Amino acid sequence: MLGSVFFRKFHVAGLIAAPILLANMSLAEPMHGIAMYGAPDLPQGFTNLPYANPKAPKGGRIRMGESGSFDSLNPWVVKGRAPVAISNFVAESLMERSYDEPFTLYGLLAESVETDDARSWVEFTLREEARFSDGSPVTVEDVMWSYETLGLQGHPRYQNAWRKIAKMEQTGPRSVRFTFSEADRELALIMGMRPVLQKAQWQDQDFAEATMTAPIGSGPYRIATVEMGKYLTLERNPDWWGKDLGFNAGRHNFDEMRFDYFNDGGVVFEAFKGGELDTWRETNAAKWARDYDFPAVQSGEVIKAEIPHARPSGIQGFVMNTRNPVFADWRVREAMLLAFNFEFINATLNNGAEPRITSYFANSSLGMRPGPAEGKVAELLAPYAADLLPGVIEGYELPVSDGSELNRKNTRKAVALLEEAGWQVDTDGVLKNASGAPFTFSILLQQGAAETSSIVDIYVEALSRLGIFPTVETVDDAQYTARRNSYEFDMTWHWVATSLSPGNEQYLYWGARGVTEPGSRNLMGMNVPAAEAMIDAMLEARSQEDFRAAVQALDRILTAGRYVIPSWYSKVSRLAYVKALHYPERLPLYGDWPGFQPDVWWYEAE
């Protein structure tokens, strides 16, 4: 994760404690869980998570398909692309979140967590029974090595929090304490969410470059078979140390999970239809209504389910890389938004069934409100008013077309803005600047992204009416990942899932470090001090009201920044699956979160 503080390379032995007093230490006591605000909902000794079925049978397997490929088994570094299943099911963290609460963690490898009222430090005590899959104990030494290694050599998402650690120390045979160098109330939770890796396995390797090593984890699954780029099979560890924890009751029920990779999303769907896969997640409402009448659905062998959720919309659409001077002017970006005829595209591809993403935290109480900023939101933005783009304080809404293909009214507005920014259509019908250089850029796409390609086709046609003729580059999965990580693109498809508990990860998404530091999610290259100030305010908030105001203010900065041309989102998740698969009736707050399937699903044939 990326912050605004200066980067300092250091070794644990050289960490110097910051001048933070361990205030209110008398108030600290070991707890089974920790919440961002208030107390955890579940009591000490709870028997299961509310959304897990503790009576779910163990056994069977699930076969899932992924679009793309992978060339690494190390998901914790920038290099390569690794299956997310490794980080989700092979490795574990000290604590894990409940998806029935906005941001609450319960002990996993750690039996307890302790912090002071100011959250200037946090201490974890490991469970004595915690073991890696090879039978060796999980130790404080493993924890400290993992945190330092990830903080210095791991993916940027780990680095921001590491920079805020003043001191890391072993405080007992099974206890480790982190003291923080600055105010950040989320850090006490963040420190519980880092993967704990086995130090001995990586001792003779360059961790940042080691992509072919099959990691030994402490999680419920271990890697069984793998063919790089093709498939990965995980097998449930029958001797898993954590199988009897209340937190894990009713979870991790399959004996085997197989993940097959295909270059094209359409091929994945055909594999599901052909019985090679057990489940498919449909993201297109029109296809959901049109393409699910094949024999297995008609016979009842395949079930269709729509699972509601209360997650924010996140942001999904075409991101403009402002590192390219052509997109540096907000008026040009607004013109690009005006040319994107959402109403026509949505009707053409979705039968108009999906709502548009209106802001980064839309569909939740964290989303910005229409009209001018008011109350605490206005107070937070006021010090930065002179540097904010038009619309942040006054209010901003995405352009709306009349739904016709030509989109004449918005096209005229786009032409006017481009002229203001120094661009005019020449006699040859090409948009050029005063020096005669054409307005040109390329759109980078991932091979096999059929739906995105369909959107691009319509958008490129609309841009031609402005005298803009972009090129479209379609590359394989490895090239796509590498170019995104190094920001070698002008425009590309971007998706960031936002949650009800945004925090330090927002630095990784929108922080200034991502302008130059590779591997961040700041694909737009934004460098806006006000955005980082709003993230700071989120992390320092003591109440839900203050937290919500800070997120709404950040949402205004991002949306009025006009960095992304948003597409649509869905208020339900659409899952098709074979009838032998089941999930609990009681759904969590987050509904179908990314790990919902297979985390709490099970296999039970008739």
323-339 mean pLDDT: 98
Q: What percent of the chain has pLDDT over 90?
A: 86
Query: What is each CA distance from 95 to 25, 168, 196, in whole angstroms?
Result: 22, 18, 10
Report the alpha-carbon angle 442-531-385, nearest 5: 105
Q: Are 563 and 290 in contact (CB under 8 A)?
A: no
pTM over 0.85: no
Taking only the tens place, the pLDDT of each residue in 210-239 is 999 999 999 999 999 999 999 999 999 999
Q: Is the pLDDT of residue 123 over 90?
A: yes
Tokens of 351: 């039968």
Look up residue 592 and give its DSSP letter.
Answer: S
Task: Please state, in angstroms and rounded to a whole number, the distance separating the CA atoms of residues 165 and 100.
Answer: 29
pLDDT at residue 264, as a whole number: 81
Looking at this protein, which amino acid is placed at residue 397? E
Q: What percent of the chain has pLDDT over 70?
A: 96
Taking only the tens place, the pLDDT of each residue in 245-256 is 999 999 999 999
- What pairing do the DSSP bridges indicate for beta strands 491-496 and 442-446? parallel
Q: Is the pLDDT of residue 5 over 60?
A: no
pLDDT at residue 15, as a whole number: 37
Please list the alpha-helical segments (H only) found in 486-528.
505-510
Q: Using alpha carbons, select from 117, 119, 95, 103 the residue that is nearest to residue 184.
A: 119
pLDDT at residue 590, as a whole number: 85
Tokens of 281: 């997640």
Task: Please state, in angstroms and rounded to a whole number, the distance separating the CA atoms of residues 103 and 578.
Answer: 32
Q: What is the largest CA-CA distance in the chain?
A: 78
pLDDT at residue 284, as a whole number: 86
Lowest mean pLDDT among 11-25, 85-99, 501-515: 11-25
Q: Are 40 and 235 in contact (CB under 8 A)?
A: no
Q: How confident is the model at residue 4 (pLDDT cuts 50, 70, 90)?
A: very low
Tokens of 454: 């369909």
Q: Is the pLDDT of residue 26 over 90?
A: no
Taking only the tens place, the pLDDT of each residue in 177-198 is 999 999 899 999 999 999 999 9
Taking only the tens place, the pLDDT of each residue in 480-521 is 999 999 999 999 999 998 988 899 999 999 999 999 999 999
Phi first, then psi: give them for residue 518, nearest 5 degrees: -70, 155
pLDDT at residue 102, as a whole number: 87
| In 95-173, beta strands by DSSP E | 95-97, 104-107, 110-115, 121-126, 165-172
Q: Are 20 and 120 in contact (CB under 8 A)?
A: yes
pLDDT at residue 12, as a whole number: 37
Taking only the tens place, the pLDDT of each residue in 33-69 is 999 988 999 999 999 999 999 999 999 999 999 988 9
Task: Please state, in angstroms and rounded to a whole number, the distance separating the CA atoms of residues 381 and 360.
Answer: 17
583-588 mean pLDDT: 94
Q: What is the mean pLDDT of the chain?
A: 92
